Amino acid sequence: MSILFSPLTIRSRTFRNRLWVSPMCMYSARDGVPQEWHHTHLAQFASGGAGLIIAEATAVLPEGRISPRDTGLWSDQQRDAWAPIVRAVHDRDALIGVQLAHAGRKASTWWPWAPQRGSVPHAEGGWTTFAPSAVAFEGYAEPTALDAAGMDAVVAAFAESARRALDAGFDVLEIHAAHGYLLHQFLSPLANMRDDDHGGSLENRARLTLRVLDAVRAVSPDDIPVFLRISATDHAEGGFTPEEAAQVGEWAIDHGADLIDVSSGGLVAHQRISVGPGYQVPLAGTVRQGGRIPTSAVGLITAAEQAEQVLAQESADAIFAGREWLRDPHFGLRAAHELGADVAWPPQYARAVWR
């Protein structure tokens, strides 16, 4: 039997397989409200065999958006727009989560296909950004360092957005602490220059992430899985390390997280990454600690057999993929066919099954 297409149960949620869709920003929202694009985009992956789909980085505060076109969950209008998208995924027998996020010093930037680059000026719809320290990401506007009240507001915003996500029907909540965004900025000594109880030691640098996790777990029923996405290395000298990531993963599990979604990079522009097939899988293995910490692997996992081997080698418990799902929204069905896995196809597509 294929491991990739064996079910996985976390709390009360059983995922029909372990081939999942990574959160991928579409930069197509209006005032944080998802549009018809998001409905079609996410529902197609459920038809295509995904076990879990995580909706894109969704801001918990307006100033937490990466760009003016990001989705949000800071308002009830946004919650109500997400609900039919969630239902569409459920109607196709898949589960769906949402990645709750705050971009910190990497907020208020232009979307990828805009003619401009860098920070959006206030005159053109941009806003003041916030970070652990008043240290800018290279080429972006200088942020304002969060004070105690600001950090409290961030924690409360994650909790309120989690409530709205659950009201919209999401099955999984993922907290975004990767890719150079706010919680990752607190975790890394390359962005966190604080000398209070949120800076310095790893325990202090992890404090805000764990506070957010506690707040999200507190508003979530016991049957709801909560994931934490981390960048397990900054790919830069003096940055966050895989060993520190493993420790944060252990603390996160103790604070109620159910799975650590392991990625890397994004904190500094001068990072140096050796990119290749499965290049982040060893990081997931490090955080997994021989099976003590449930993890998912991501990063140029593009083929069925490759994904199967990651699980067979016990480097991770599940696979997230991104680009391959964009190339082929039926990647799940194709992978099952290639591995000879016996899975239920949508009856509308049953004629495609090789016999």
- Domains in the chain, start-ordered, CATH in brackets? 8-352 (3.20.20.70)
What pLDDT was estimated at residue 355? 58
d(CA 352, CA 355): 9
pLDDT digits (tens), the chain, 355 positions? 899 999 999 999 999 999 999 999 999 999 999 999 999 999 999 999 999 999 999 999 999 999 999 999 999 999 999 999 999 999 999 999 999 999 999 999 999 999 999 999 999 999 999 999 999 999 999 999 999 999 999 999 999 999 999 999 999 999 999 999 999 999 999 999 999 999 999 999 999 999 999 999 999 999 999 999 999 999 999 999 999 999 999 999 999 999 999 999 999 999 999 899 999 999 999 999 988 999 999 999 999 999 999 999 999 999 999 999 999 999 999 999 999 999 989 999 888 886 5
For the chain, helix (H) and strand (E) counts, in that order, are 11, 12
What pLDDT was estimated at residue 161? 98
Tokens, residue 342: 């016996």
d(CA 247, CA 253): 10
What pLDDT was estimated at residue 354? 61
Picking from 149, 133, 225, the residue whose alpha carbon sits closest to that of residue 185 is 133
**Annotated catalytic residue within 140, 181, 279, 349:** 181
The amino acid at 300: L
d(CA 42, CA 281): 25
pLDDT digits (tens, 9 = 90+) for 129-155: 999 999 999 999 999 999 999 999 999
d(CA 134, CA 65): 18
Residue spans of alpha helices (H) in the chain: 36-47, 76-91, 148-168, 182-187, 202-205, 207-219, 242-254, 281-288, 304-312, 323-327, 331-339
d(CA 138, CA 160): 31
d(CA 271, CA 190): 11
Q: Say if CB 181 and CB 168 are below 8 A apart.
A: no
Tokens, residue 13: 């949620």
What pLDDT was estimated at residue 61? 98
What pLDDT was estimated at residue 350? 84
The pTM of this model reads 0.96
What pLDDT was estimated at residue 136? 97
Helix, strand, or coil (residue 175): strand
181 is catalytic: yes
